[in-house]
Structure 1
Amino acid sequence: MSYHGHCRLLLERRGTTIDSKVNNAFCDDGYGREILSSDLFVNNDVWNFINPEGMVRHERAGPSMPETIQGALHTDKVHALRYYCPNILSKWATRPRHWPPPEAVQKVLSLGAFLTPVGFKGSEYQHVEWRVCFNTGEIELVNNLNEIQIKLYVLLKMVKNDVLNPRKKEVTSYTLKNIVLWIAENNHQSLFHERSLLHWLHEGLDALRFALVTRELPYYMIPDRNLMAACELEEAQQRTWISTISEMMNEGPRMILRLSKIRQALIGHPEPFRWYNTRRMGLELLHLIEMNRLVVCTDENWVCDETDVILQALDRRKKEIVREVRLRMIMEGSRVSSSTGVNVRMLM
């Protein structure tokens, strides 16, 4: 029995032709049956037949074979097999969800799965196990994330690189992508908007902290597979990261100052940031005051007295702020929509 999300490939019968790279990877399973070895497949000399000048091949990393060409172009090649697994995909497709939309679910189903040549770390069958992957399906899923979910993914990767800085891939971008996919699936899409980004960053950090505490994170496509299993997370590192993430969450919005690129932007260009932030806050306050004033100026027939001096003054000041922001955008070469568009964006 293989670990969840992995399998072994026993040869049922030989076809009329068989690719040499596959044929060279067969071995005996100890019971007189032929089994396809992931180790033999990925280490097959046939892959090295083409060796352009200036190419340097590096040590195998999981299922991939890293290469550097001319000292500049770095690639990771993964040779995989197509895999037919309707049961796994249908189980994923039929679970209750807020996301992705039905058409995206059908697209993922149509893209199918792959087997990559890497076994579960620590398994006695590691050398003959293959990992089930949904590379093309996951690309489709990421393409269906909305802007806030993408920004959440980017911020979590910044946390990984700037704050956690893992040395042994204890936490990877793939870990964080799965956290974002789970968050997207389990929450109504209307909750993801510009002003909720920090809330979702807090939720993402909480999910990451929980994964570190429990050493468990279900794989989005196959929940029985634990992405934190065999991640080689040491106890001291675990405690440090849990403490660091907890501190970040307690800092509230200031947590983003721990992220170097954002901090540099704020420090390197503080004046434009403060200038815009002041006007945005002013516009928001004027909008709130106007809403309250509209209630006062509206009679029992829902007719508003638009001649009210205060309403007119509020409207003039709002237009002045929007005009000022729009003019600066034009002067700095930004893409500018109408004044109405600028007003809407500032209040989002």
Structure 2
Amino acid sequence: MVERRVTPNYGIIWMLSGSDREGFRLMGSDVDIMYWPNDHRVIMDMSQSEYYNTANTTLILSDSSESPPGFTLLQLLTPRTTRDVFSACVRLNDRVYISSSTYRQLTCSVVHPNSTVHGPCGSGVIGGVEYDTAYCFVCDFWPVSASSWIARCHSWPDPEVVNDIVRNGCHFVAIGHPLGPHEHEEWRISFSQAEYKLVYSMNHCQFLIYGLLKLFLKEVMNQQSEETNKLLCSYHMKTAIFWAIQQNTLPHWYPQNLLAGFWVCFKLLLKWVYQGVCPNFFIPQNNLFLTKVNGSAQNRLFLQLHELYNRGLSCLLQSSSIRSYIIYVLYNPRLSICTDESTMRSEVDYDLELVLESNRANSYTADLCGLTKAIHTIEQLLESPLTHNQVVTLQNLTTSLFRNTAFQPHNTFMYTNTGINKQMYIADKTFCHMLKLAAKFGCISDMLYIAMHYYKTLRYREALSVIEMTKVKLAQPYLMYRGRVDKERYTEAVGGQSWSTKIRQAVAVDIVLYNEICCISELIPEQQSALQNRKPILRIPVFVMLHFLEFFCYRHIDTTLSQAALDELQVLVHHDQGLYVDDIHRDISWEILGICQQITGNLHAALYSYQQSLITQYPLNNIQTATKKRIHDIVGTT
């Protein structure tokens, strides 16, 4: 919500979707993210065009007159558009439409280079994690074809949830119906935003049943045979639980009815496979089984599921993840299942998850006006009922806004103007205050942004003072970093204390640099390289950044200590086994080591470091262009 308020009209909006957005953290799950241009809007009929200024908004008309339920053609109404959209345009019946297949090909590798097309997405693997990125279009209106869903919502979800879902419209993703008359031009209506809101409206028992269905699909149903292991997917499980809840199939969705609820959904799924019809929850006329679950494969799948059905709830024992948990319940039907999170997870385990989740919240705004909007939005959110997780996420978001605003391009005059005047003094005081506020509410790593500011303004001793304090905190035995912590020492040191105290004293995260903002001039080529590859940020391990800054500051004060900092950096990058430098950050870590070595004149070592940066398995930061240029410069001088 904050991100959307501050994104400029010409910017790109992104939204996490899929299992991750819904709240699941299952081993092997992929990460799904949707992207759309903020200045493009789909409308359902021409009368809706009056709500937009066509001088700065590209309008697209949904035309579903010839498409199967749940699909539509997208007609471009205004000539102003992006290069990718323009290149995807085709002419049908003397009208200009956007081809989904062409647009999908053009945007497949925009987020991550060398991605492959998978459904409407660009897919691949980074650091062992699969991703799906989908470039799509947004619509502020609820589709007419889904109007029956509103009328069905008598008992679930609550009216305020229904109104919120309808008010926020839908999306259109780039894939057509394989049996439609215009498969390569058609777009699928996506209800991803509505779906995660429905999942959020589930009670805890319903959510657990949904998770149980997902595990059962992966570990049991999809392990029956090669012929049938691709027929059912997680979306079918979601559809089943949605229908089961709305139709009041189970009178009471309580924890003691957990297995009964699972069985209700499984029987519904079995019925759908038998009939060959899985009705989309929002547009029931859209049969999700139409092109896959039919013929001999359908018969085979039904027989396999029916065999599981005949075994009763004992079929759950085939799931490796849940066997040990469920067997006690099967032997003792009166045993209640504990769902109280406070008794299931220790304080330190909860804190570990909270750090990982809240650390996703990063934002920056292009100007002070945007910062004002963002802070105002956060203030509004703080007045609404929030969970502890949401408060922590907003806290993290606020710190990122403060520190990024302090390094904004429009503040560059402060770093380039060598004259001392009142304007510079006031600006410096303001930026320092913002960075210190960020460090006050942030974690240990936020102190390094203050050091960057001091280094950039030539105050090397002040920077080193901050670096030394940071180094002391990072050396504590109870440090929580990258999902690792000595639980006993952490509990002894900060257990039971406030969250702000915990993160200030015991939590570190990687350094995030927005590539449109220059925080440290020595990394400008890397940031420009990443921007050319549409990568908005650099992620740098905090220990690498610590030694990097220490090296550059000491170069102006004590060359011996500067060399000592470089030696520490070299040992870290060369010998770390993933404790402080993980695989996906080795590209930037080797690059930073090479930059330091090149500055000291050790060109042979620098060349080796740059080459290592170039051949890392996961080039997450997309800095290869800068690396090749640095290699070329060294080779050209030797």
Partner residue, 1:97 = 154
Residue equivalent to 2:284: 223
Match of 1:341 in 2: none
Aligned to 1:183: 244
- Residue 68 of structure 1 deviates from its aligned partner by 2.9
- Give the corresponding residue for 2:103: 41
Q: 2:70 is aligned with what amino acid?
A: G
What SS does structure 1 have at the residue aligned with 2:184? helix
Map of 1:7 onto structure 2: 72
2:194 to 123, 137, 155: 137
- Alignment gaps of 5+ in structure 1: 268-272, 285-328, 336-348
Aligned to 2:137: 81
Q: Retained in 2: the 8 A contact 1:97–1:186?
A: no
- How far did 1:200 drift? 1.8
**How far off its partner does 1:82 sit?**
1.1
C-alpha separation between the residues in 2 aligned to 1:2 and 1:242? 30
Question: 1:120 and 1:98, CA in 2 relative to 1: closer, same or farther beyond 3 A?
Answer: same
1:239-292 per-residue CA deviation (whole Å, 9 max, x = no partner) reads 34323332333333323212222224568xxxxx59x959x66xx9xxxxxxxx
- In structure 1, what is the Cα distance between the partners aligned to 2:215 and 2:110? 39
Match of 2:94 in 1: 32
Alignment: residue pair count? 272
Matched with 2:309 is 249
1:156-204, Cα deviation, whole Å (9 max, x unpaired): 2222122221656310000110000001111178511122222222211
Query: What is aligned with 1:22?
Result: 85
Instruction: Give identity over the alignment, percent.
Output: 25
The 2-side partners of 1:47 and 1:252 are apart by 44
Counterparts in 2 of 1:191 and 1:10: CA distance versus 1, 3 Å = same
Aligned counterpart, 2:35: none
**Using a 3 Å threshold, how does the CA distance of structure 1 residues 35 and 149 change in structure 2: closer, same or farther?**
same
1 CA distance for matches of 2:123 and 2:111? 15
Contact 1:38–1:129, Cα closer than 8 Å, also in 2: yes
| Equivalence for 2:272 | 211
Once the two structures are superposed, the pairs formed by residues 250-289 of structure 1 within 5 Å of their partners are 250-265=310-325, 273=328
Shift of 1:87: 2.4
Amino acid at match of 2:71: H
User: In the alignment, which of 203, 207, 211 is matched to residue 154 of structure 1?
Assistant: 211
- Aligned letter for 1:99? W
* Corresponding residue number in structure 2 for 1:170: 231
* Equivalent position of 2:492 in the other structure: none
Alignment of 1:50-89 (within 5 A): 55-58=113-116, 60-69=117-126, 71-83=127-139, 84-89=141-146
Q: Which amino acid aligns with 2:310?
A: N
**Alignment partners' CA distance in 2, 1:334 and 1:50:** 37
- Asked if structure 1 preserves the Cα contact closer than 8 Å seen for 2:100 and 2:186, the reply is yes
Amino acid at match of 1:6: F
Show CA shifts across 1:287-310 (max 9, x none). Answer: xxxxxxxxxxxxxxxxxxxxxxxx
1:49–1:253 distance in 2 versus 1, CA, 3 Å: closer
Residue correspondence of structure 1 range 291-302 to structure 2 within 5 A = none
Secondary structure class of the residue paired with 1:191: coil
Q: 1:266 to 1:9 in 2, by over 3 A?
A: closer
CA distance in 1, matches of 2:110, 2:197: 33
Amino acid aligned to 1:221 = F
Q: What SS does the aligned partner of 1:224 have? A: coil
Distance 1:137 1:66 in 2: 23
- The answer to whether the Cα contact below 8 Å between 2:277 and 2:287 also exists between their aligned partners in 1 is yes
Cα separation, partners in 2 of 1:234 and 1:189, compared to 1, 3 Å: closer
SS in 2 for 1:257: helix
Which structure 2 segments of 5+ residues have no match?
A: 1-65, 337-341, 348-638
**Is the deviation greater in 82-91 or in 123-132?**
82-91
Q: 1:96–1:73: structure 2 CA closer, same or farther, 3 Å change rule?
A: closer
Q: What corresponds to 1:311 in structure 2?
A: none
CA distance in 2, matches of 1:229, 1:246: 20
Q: CA deviation at 1:104?
A: 0.9
Structure 1 counterpart of 2:316, one-letter code: I
User: Can you list the C-alpha shifts for 1:301-339, whole angstroms capped at 9, x where unaligned?
Assistant: xxxxxxxxxxxxxxxxxxxxxxxxxxxx99x9879xxxx
Shift of 1:32: 2.8
Question: How far apart are the structure 2 equivalents of 1:247 and 1:226?
Answer: 25
Decide whether aligned partners of structure 1 residues 161 and 68 sit closer, same or farther in structure 2, where only a CA change above 3 A counts. closer
Counterpart-to-counterpart distance in 2, 1:111 and 1:208: 30
Amino acid at match of 1:33: R
* Residues 98 and 189 in structure 1, CA contact (< 8 A), matched pair in contact too: no
Partner of 2:246, secondary structure, is helix
Match of 1:293 in 2: none
Helix, strand or coil for the counterpart of 2:74? strand
Determine which of 249, 253, 257 is the counterpart of 1:192: 253
Tell me the alpha carbon deviations over residues 101-127 of structure 1, each in whole angstroms, 9 at most, x when there is no partner: 111111111221001010002333100
The one-letter code matched in structure 2 to 1:193 is Y
Shift, 1:233, TM fit: 4.8
Question: In structure 2, what is the equivalent of residue 323 of structure 1?
Answer: none
Deviation per residue, 1:15-46 (Å, 9 max, x gap):
4x2121211111121x33211110111112x6
Q: CA deviation at 1:50?
A: 6.9
In 1, distance between residues paired with 2:206 and 2:111? 41
Task: Output the CA distance in 2 between the equivalents of 1:333 and 1:157.
Answer: 22
Asked if the contact 2:108/2:122 (under 8 Å) is kept, the reply is: no
Cα pair 2:250 2:261 within 8 Å, conserved? no
Higher relative contact order (CA 8 A, sep 6+): 1
1:128 aligns with 2:191: no
Separation in structure 2 between the aligned mates of residue 103 and residue 183 of structure 1, nearest angstrom? 20
Check 1:85–1:333 CA distance in 2 against 1; reply closer, same or farther (3 A cut): closer
